[in-house]
Amino acid sequence: MSNVAVSMYPKEFLAEFYRRMVLVREFELRAIEERRRGLIPGFIHSCVGQEATAVGAGLALNRDDVITSTHRGHGHLLGKGGDPRYMMAELAARAPGYCRGRGGSLHIADFELGILGANGIVGGGFPIAVGAALAFQMRREPRVALAFFGDGAVNQGSFHEAANLAGLWRLPVIFFCENNLYGEGTPQSRQAPLADLARRAEAYGFPGVIVDGNDVLAVYEAVKAAAERARAGQGPTFIEGKTYRYRGHYEGDPQIYRKPGELEEWLARDPIPTFRRRLLEAGALDEAALQALEADVQRQLDEAVAFAAAAPFPKVEEALAGVYGETHGGLVF
Amino acid sequence: MSTAKRTAGWSFELSVNYHGVTVKTMREITYREAICEAMSEEMRRDPAVFLMGEDVGTFGGVWGVSQGMLAEFGEERVRDTPISEIAIIGAGLGAALVGMRPIVEIMFGDFLMCAGDQLVNQVAKARFMSGGKANVPLTIRVTTGAPGSAAAQHSQSPESWFTNVPGLKVVTPATPADAKGLLRTAIRGEDPVLFFEHKMLYDLKGPVPEDPNFSVPFGQAAVVRAGQDVTLIGVGIMVQKALAAADRLAQEGISAEVVDPRTLVPLDKATLIQSVAKTGRVVIAHEAHLRNGPGAEIAAVLAEEAVEYLDGPIVRIGAKNVPLPYSPILEQYVLPGVEDIVRAAKAIVIR
């Protein structure tokens, strides 16, 4: 699936792929910077290097399709249309943030955009995506649920239970594995006896597909095909995007686990500059157009940071609200 | 253990006069039938409601609760699942987040631990973590208690493990009417509910209103028997044992009031305090292990908010703090019974 011809796509489409990947990259770098400067109090697990999987998958889905995301979820949210202002405000623990300051990076959700939630638990999203897919199937809605996860998560029991159920009931779900070669600080080769995790799909009766996770168009095509399969009632697909994260598991991770030379090798395949080169070489977008998109992203992020920094903190009483939908006369919050 | 004609917060008339014709509005059905009725009625009313779990379809539930439902609603809405508690509870959450109202059955409360992450980290916290936006109308029906010689992994009463998890509601029906009314409230509600059905109550018969909208609100304890000398607070099956104990105490001239909190979260503190204010003495009984069982919270509430009314120590009755043993003689020794309640009540009343 690698190196899908750029010429197959309309210009606006290609521009959006590029713009959104730059948005993900720059959002992460901005968040890291703002954390260092004190705007953001909590953890950040950045997805720098994994922009193609997030954006390729996000743009292949419809607005009413849903995703479950992970601890490394900022790219997934932006890929699905998340608003960087509300994301930055949430990271900054402010009242207008996506979760009103109650969730932070690990729990951002936007149900109107079909973002059922990032997740602080590795493997936590699988059964949730499967349940959403079950609802779509029962209601005969042509909608798809996509669960993002990393290579570490396929060793959680939740994967196996959810994949089995999805295969058994032929649910419209896509299991999208971003295999970045490390589960936290331990190489994938020391966590599973398989290098190609897509092979696990066979055990549950649905196809497993491997794509170059640094090629946004390859990811897009694979997810689009899987979504079409799902909408046609043909059941789940496991997609494994081979990729790499350029920064630590979390910001501050000493990264002593990387093999020498590995980072440099993967930097040469950075999804953003490689796609940029392809666009230029194919004559799809010129230098001026690309620079305009980059400038547009910077302006958008300036706005997001300013919005977050100026936003009020939540009132302390708000900590005691929204645990339940019904409070039974104040007996619970 | 008759339950007829007890007041429990709703009208218990057995018939009404309707345009000159007497219509029976109550009939005696079992706790099992009451639960099945609530599910079936809600499924007829609302296509978003469905049931899934291990053996709930063809088998009719290993406790027989969903018998006949597959025939009425079909395989899509009465779904047999693999033995996969993580997937059952997690898929219930996912379906709830996109507008369904799933009822999931977990065969034994002991098996909730298999799905610990989904239940405690995902289901319970989804609304709060999203800033109050997630709606999670998910009812988790689960059995509790010792059915007799089922040993340590099929006999536990884990209700209070989950009362320490904000985001979950914990419901412990003790009568057929409460089972039906509380389950309807759970299914129509907007929050995740752990609905604990005691295995030894399934065959209990009692009057249940036929009104298809009959429901019992959460957070309202029931004074199931009025008395003057001592309050017996029972949780789940121990409500029935407390009633039996009250009969025994009456023979000895002690008037016991029996109160059923009905929901542990939310907890109706006011009714518990009111009863203790009247009697001045309290015994709290549950089948869960004594240490940090539901009685620990109730005792703490009474100690904090009703100490001025107390004329004696708060006494808790629960299972001894060991895993439930297999041999009947050992099991009976470990489990709390009617005699334990009678003895405890007498000890604080006659001093």
User: So where are chain B's domains?
Assistant: 22-209, 222-349
Q: How much is the pLDDT for A4?
A: 76
pLDDT in tens, chain A (333 residues): 446 789 899 999 999 999 999 999 999 999 999 999 999 999 999 999 999 999 999 999 999 999 999 999 999 999 999 999 999 999 999 999 999 999 999 999 999 999 999 999 999 999 999 999 999 999 999 999 999 999 999 999 999 999 999 999 999 999 999 999 999 999 999 999 999 999 999 999 999 999 999 999 999 999 999 999 999 999 999 999 999 999 999 999 999 999 999 999 999 999 999 999 999 999 999 999 999 999 999 999 999 999 999 999 999 999 999 999 999 999 999
Which residues 6+ apart lie within 8 Å of A166 measured at CB? Answer: A130, A133, A173, A175, A204, A206, A235, A236
- Furthest-apart CA pair in chain A: how many Å? 66
Q: How much is the pLDDT for B23?
A: 52
> Which of B210, B305, B294, B215 shows the shortest CA–CA distance to B259?
B294
Cα separations in angstroms, A63 against A80, A81, A110, A143: 8, 8, 12, 9
Can you tell me the distance from the alpha carbon of A199 to that of A1, in angstroms, rounded to the nearest whole number? 17
Q: Is A249 a catalytic residue?
A: yes
Using a CB–CB cutoff of 8 Å, tell me whether B164 touches chain A.
Answer: no
**B189 contacts A131? CB cut-off 8 A:** no
Q: Where are the alpha helices (DSSP H) in A37-150?
A: 51-60, 74-79, 84-91, 126-138
Which of A135, A145, A162 has its CB closest to that of B90? A162
Q: Which residues of B235-269 are buried (b: 16+ CB within 10 A; e: fewer)?
A: bbbbbbbbbbbbebbeeeebebbbbbbbbbbbbbb
- With respect to residue A329, please indicate whether it lies within any of the assigned structural domains: no
Q: Note the CATH number of domain B22-209.
A: 3.40.50.970
Model confidence pLDDT, tens digit, residues A238-281 = 999 999 999 999 999 999 999 999 999 999 999 999 999 999 99
Q: How much is the pLDDT for A121?
A: 97
Can you tell me the distance from the alpha carbon of B54 to that of B35, in angstroms, rounded to the nearest whole number? 17
Q: Is A220 a catalytic residue?
A: no
Can you tell me the distance from the alpha carbon of B91 to that of B102, in angstroms, rounded to the nearest whole number? 9
Contact B344, B312 (CB under 8 A): no
Cα B306 versus chain centre, distance: 25
- With respect to residue A139, please indicate whether it lies within any of the assigned structural domains: yes
What sign has the CA pseudo-torsion B200, B201, B205, B206?
A: positive
Model confidence pLDDT, tens digit, residues B149-158 = 999 999 999 9
Cα separations in angstroms, A298 against A10, A290, A294: 24, 13, 6
Can you tell me the distance from the alpha carbon of A104 to that of A89, in angstroms, rounded to the nearest whole number? 9
> Which of A1, A66, A3 shows the shortest CA–CA distance to A274?
A3
Q: What burial class does residue A190 get, using C-beta atoms within 10 Å of its C-beta: 0-12 exposed, 13-18 middle, 19+ buried?
A: exposed
Angstroms from B269 CA to nearest CA on chain A: 9
Q: How much is the pLDDT for B7?
A: 39
DSSP, collapsed to helix, strand or coil, labels residue B170 as strand
| Tokens describing residue A236 | 């789940």
Rg of chain A in Å (alpha carbons): 20
Q: How much is the pLDDT for B101?
A: 98
Model confidence pLDDT, tens digit, residues B193-208 = 999 999 999 999 999 9
By residue range, what is the domain housing residue A124?
A: 6-320
Q: Quickly name the fold that domain B222-349 has.
A: Rossmann fold (3.40.50)
DSSP-assigned letters across all residues of B295-334: HHHHHHHHHHHSGGG-SS--EEEEE-SSPPPSSHHHHHHH
DSSP class of residue A329?
T
Which residues 6+ apart lie within 8 Å of B337 measured at CB? Answer: B241
Please report residues of A whose CB lies closer than 8 A to that of B132: 100, 102, 321-322
Positions in chain B whose pLDDT score sits under 70: 1-24, 351
**A107 contacts B190? CB cut-off 8 A:** no
DSSP, collapsed to helix, strand or coil, labels residue B80 as strand
Q: Which residues of A1-38 are buried (b: 16+ CB within 10 A; e: fewer)?
A: beebebeebeeeebbebbbbbbbbbbbbebbbebbeee
Q: How much is the pLDDT for A243?
A: 98
Query: ipTM of this complex > 0.90?
Result: yes
Q: What CATH number does the domain containing A260 carry? A: 3.40.50.970
Name the residue of chain B whose CA is nearest to A117's CA.
B130
**Helix, strand, coil abundance in chain A, percent, nearest 5:** 50, 10, 40
| Tokens describing residue A257 | 């686990």
- Altogether, the residues listed in chain B come to a count of 351
**H or E stretch covering B105:** strand B101-106
Angstroms from A288 CA to nearest CA on chain B: 40
Q: How much is the pLDDT for B2?
A: 35
Q: What is the pTM of this model?
A: 0.94
**A324 contacts B94? CB cut-off 8 A:** no
Contact B140, B106 (CB under 8 A): yes
The count of CB pairs under 8 A between chains A and B is 162
Model confidence pLDDT, tens digit, residues B310-338 = 999 999 999 999 999 999 999 999 999 99
Can you tell me the distance from the alpha carbon of B296 to that of A261, in angstroms, rounded to the nearest whole number? 59
Q: Tell me the residue ranges of DSSP E strands in chain A.
A: 66-68, 145-150, 173-179, 182-183, 186-187, 208-212, 237-242
Q: Is A140 a catalytic residue?
A: no
DSSP class of residue B224?
E
